[in-house]
Structure 1
Amino acid sequence: MSESGNRAICGKESQSLPLPPCEPIDFSSDLVKALFFAVSELQTGRQKAPSTPAPYHTSRFDELVTSIRTARKLIAENRFRIALQPIVCLGDNQLHHYEALARFNGGDCQSSFIGFLEKADIIHEFDRRMVNKVIQHISRMSAEPVPIAVNLSSTSLSNESIIRDIEGAVRQDSSLGMKLIIELTETVRISDFAHLNNNLQRLRQLGVKTCIDDFGSGSTSFQSLTDLKVDIVKLDGNYLHKIDFGDDRDGFLSSVIKRCQAMGARIVAEKIETGEQARKMKAMGVDLGQGYFFGRPEMLTCDNG
């Protein structure tokens, strides 16, 4: 995406859409969160059970409390920025929408940090700030912007307060529904598909498009395609690069594409890096492409935090 494209995204600002303020952070729960985090590490084998429990619990527990409080402070102060990466139609290479990506510490993408937030059970705090920031950006644009997709965890999309915030913003500005895409990330196992699907349909009824992110990553399953009605399915790029694009020997990709087509969902292939990959994905029936071949993520120059 060129510099001129970035300026086009930012455009001429208009009055931003007022949103409910994010809830103040109550740090009193950090001790409990750190305790559950430490127990989880021991259960999964990431940390060995100590021969002398007290030193372990003192050092590791204190470290976790400090890390959780640091992360929550970063979130509360909005100390992250947004980068946008283009997603294009493989049929004509025209821009379809952007994906909003969080950037910390000078522009690095820290998936490990997001993973930490999920394990510490504070991902909903970050997701609330992230979606609010994207909505504020969309609402500031006087011209009709290209739609922007934002990632939300299944935990956040099961959170009634976050759903109501999004519903409230769309009801204040009905055009927002056509400009916002919600991508469901499934790095945390979904416990209640029916409740989650109900929330997704509430957003879709307001015009908001929904997407399953990183399908095929190992965290997702065909139950997601069966039990969740969405508009877009994004195929995991790491999986795509492990298969033979010309053969698809295990038939997984072909079966996913057929399933998506049957349910009327558009398909995005991630991490496309060459024209040959783009052509092969198009030939297999994939609608949209994302990757360095089409454009790298670029920081929003008008994102003031």
Structure 2
Amino acid sequence: MPSLPLRVLVLEDHTFQRSVAVNMLRSLGCREVFEASDGAQALDVLNAIGPVDIALCDLQMEGMDGLAFLQRVGASGQVKSIIISSSLSADLRRAVHQIVSLLGLELLGDVGKPLHAQVLAPLLKKYLDSPVTELWTAATVALASEEAVRRALVEQQLQAWYQPKFNLQTGEVCGVEVLCRWLHPINGVISPAVFMPVLERCGLMDELLFVQLDQALSLQQLARHHGFALNMAFNLQTAQLANGELTSTIKAILARHATPGASLTFELTESGLLEAPATSLESLVRLRMMGCRLSIDDFGAGFSSLQRLCQLPFNEIKLDAEFVRTLEHEPRCRAVISSTLALGETLGMSVVIEGIETEAQCQQLLALGCTLGQGYWYARPMNGEDLLRWLPLRDAAQALKL
């Protein structure tokens, strides 16, 4: 078994189960495995050994329980990812998933009890493969300076990256979500977590959007020459809709690239849309009038308003990835997905499923009638050059399956 460069803390009050977890992680190749019988002891261990990559965390225990432990480490940076291992009911564990997210921690998975190596191993690989993991260094945890981010924007170091969207039934690539990475001349690829909050604080999100539009539409034209028609989806914040020049600038960029609005999708998270002012609604209507598609991103992650969904001119729903993560173990998630598919069909809206990471999830989603999706099971984000190389290779692989 190859050694994995991982530091893992096992938080479990049952002596035998803790021993099983520790030995299992070591057998899977984890470089360093630590253990604690309750939250207080776990905090002492962290203070003694420093940060860990993963905390395998029980929830219900004597002394400081798992919830209190999560609260304590949420803002400390001592734990990078959490794996929940608990015998609590699925609905309670799902509520804990929300707590983990609200505390700013990454939920790597929920393995329940008893532990199984075949369930734990993919989660360790998922952590190691995560782009965020690659970028976790002392130099990149802190936010970049405003001066550095402004310079990066001017010098075009902020580059569009692309994550494909798929037709689950045919395997066809039907579009891409346009993301952003900072290609630093010294530090390499830097995560959006380091610079995106700075762009927001400095009011530079529009400028970034316009730069990304130019980059993505140029790539879209190259892809079209190679026989690939890709819809380009851009993330848009609700606050940006208040800019009276937003839609006219987008229209001018489309004209410059001789591209119809129908080739673009703008994704907005549902939070902030519930009380959107008239100026924001006007921007949404104008984008639709230009032919652009509008998608509600991370649907179900906030406080969804079905009334607002009917009132706003959206034609796509992107269901939050959290529903897929617990699909195999949580009947309620299957019910939510089925209901959202039915809602989308009734409202004439397409439904995209986010966060597909395994073959099992894909098959269950197909059985539920899902058509569109994206996630690491299909493809990770990549730069434009890699995307153009990947598309024909993907086509050839699909042809071999037919």
1:97 to partner: Cα distance: 0.8
Match of 1:78 in 2: 156
Match of 1:270 in 2: 354
Aligned residue among 175, 189, 194 for 1:107 = 189
Q: Does 1:165 align with 2:243?
A: no
Unaligned runs of 5+ in 1: 1-45, 47-63
Match of 1:98 in 2: 176
1:291 to partner: Cα distance: 0.9
Query: Helix, strand or coil for the counterpart of 2:301?
Result: coil
Match of 1:216 in 2: 300
Using the TM superposition, name which of 226-235 and 267-276 deviates more. Answer: 226-235
1:150 to partner: Cα distance: 1.6
Task: From the superposition, tell whether residues 78 and 155 of structure 1 become closer, same or farther in structure 2 (CA, over 3 Å).
Answer: farther
Tell me how far apart the structure 2 counterparts of residues 66 and 80 of structure 1 sit (CA, whole Å): 13
Tell me how far apart the structure 2 counterparts of residues 142 and 234 of structure 1 sit (CA, whole Å): 25
Task: From the superposition, tell whether residues 163 and 245 of structure 1 become closer, same or farther in structure 2 (CA, over 3 Å).
Answer: farther
Match of 1:29 in 2: none
Contact 1:154 1:190 in 2 (8 A): no
Match of 1:134 in 2: 216
1:292 to partner: Cα distance: 1.5
Kindly tell me the number of residue pairs found equivalent between the two proteins. Answer: 241
- Aligned amino acid, residue 133 of structure 1: Q
Query: Helix, strand or coil for the counterpart of 1:101?
Result: strand
Tell me how far apart the structure 1 counterparts of residues 144 and 159 of structure 2 sit (CA, whole Å): 23
Contact 2:338 2:368 in 1 (8 A): yes
Tell me the C-alpha RMSD between the 2 structures. 3.2
Tell me how far apart the structure 2 counterparts of residues 65 and 209 of structure 1 sit (CA, whole Å): 33
Match of 2:199 in 1: 117
Contact 2:353 2:370 in 1 (8 A): yes
Query: Helix, strand or coil for the counterpart of 1:93?
Result: coil
Tell me how far apart the structure 1 counterparts of residues 305 and 265 of structure 2 sit (CA, whole Å): 21
Task: From the superposition, tell whether residues 164 and 294 of structure 1 become closer, same or farther in structure 2 (CA, over 3 Å).
Answer: same
Task: From the superposition, tell whether residues 221 and 179 of structure 1 become closer, same or farther in structure 2 (CA, over 3 Å).
Answer: same
1:182 to partner: Cα distance: 1.7
Tell me how far apart the structure 2 counterparts of residues 302 and 94 of structure 1 sit (CA, whole Å): 18
Instruction: Render the CA deviation track for 1:98-156: whole Å, top value 9, x for unaligned.
Output: 11111114334323532343344432332232223223433456626322212121222
Tell me how far apart the structure 2 counterparts of residues 219 and 117 of structure 1 sit (CA, whole Å): 26
Query: Helix, strand or coil for the counterpart of 1:212?
Result: strand
Task: From the superposition, tell whether residues 72 and 227 of structure 1 become closer, same or farther in structure 2 (CA, over 3 Å).
Answer: farther
Tell me how far apart the structure 2 counterparts of residues 274 and 250 of structure 1 sit (CA, whole Å): 16
Tell me how far apart the structure 2 counterparts of residues 125 and 236 of structure 1 sit (CA, whole Å): 27
1:267 to partner: Cα distance: 0.9
Query: Helix, strand or coil for the counterpart of 2:239?
Result: helix
Match of 1:207 in 2: 291
1:194 to partner: Cα distance: 4.0
Tell me how far apart the structure 1 counterparts of residues 190 and 304 of structure 2 sit (CA, whole Å): 26
1:294 to partner: Cα distance: 1.1
Tell me how far apart the structure 2 counterparts of residues 200 and 285 of structure 1 sit (CA, whole Å): 29
Query: Helix, strand or coil for the counterpart of 2:171?
Result: coil
Match of 1:238 in 2: 322
Task: From the superposition, tell whether residues 288 and 178 of structure 1 become closer, same or farther in structure 2 (CA, over 3 Å).
Answer: same
Contact 1:245 1:277 in 2 (8 A): no
Match of 1:195 in 2: 279
1:74 to partner: Cα distance: 2.0
Task: Name the TM-score, length of structure 1 as normaliser.
Answer: 0.67
Instruction: Render the CA deviation track for 1:265-302: whole Å, top value 9, x for unaligned.
Output: 11111111112211222232322010111112221128
Tell me how far apart the structure 2 counterparts of residues 76 and 113 of structure 1 sit (CA, whole Å): 14
Using the TM superposition, name which of 105-114 and 154-163 deviates more. Answer: 105-114
1:169 to partner: Cα distance: 3.1
Higher normalized strand content (fraction of residues): 2
Task: From the superposition, tell whether residues 291 and 168 of structure 1 become closer, same or farther in structure 2 (CA, over 3 Å).
Answer: same
Task: From the superposition, tell whether residues 158 and 244 of structure 1 become closer, same or farther in structure 2 (CA, over 3 Å).
Answer: farther
Unaligned runs of 5+ in 2: 1-74, 76-141, 388-402
Matches within 5 A, 1:180-191: 180-186=264-270, 191=275
* Structure 1 moving runs of 4+ over 6 Å: none
Query: Helix, strand or coil for the counterpart of 2:213?
Result: helix
1:175 to partner: Cα distance: 4.0
Contact 1:134 1:150 in 2 (8 A): no
- Aligned amino acid, residue 169 of structure 2: G
Contact 1:83 1:299 in 2 (8 A): yes
Tell me how far apart the structure 2 counterparts of residues 122 and 72 of structure 1 sit (CA, whole Å): 9
1:249 to partner: Cα distance: 5.7
Contact 1:246 1:280 in 2 (8 A): no
Aligned residue among 281, 294, 304 for 2:365 = 281
1:262 to partner: Cα distance: 1.5
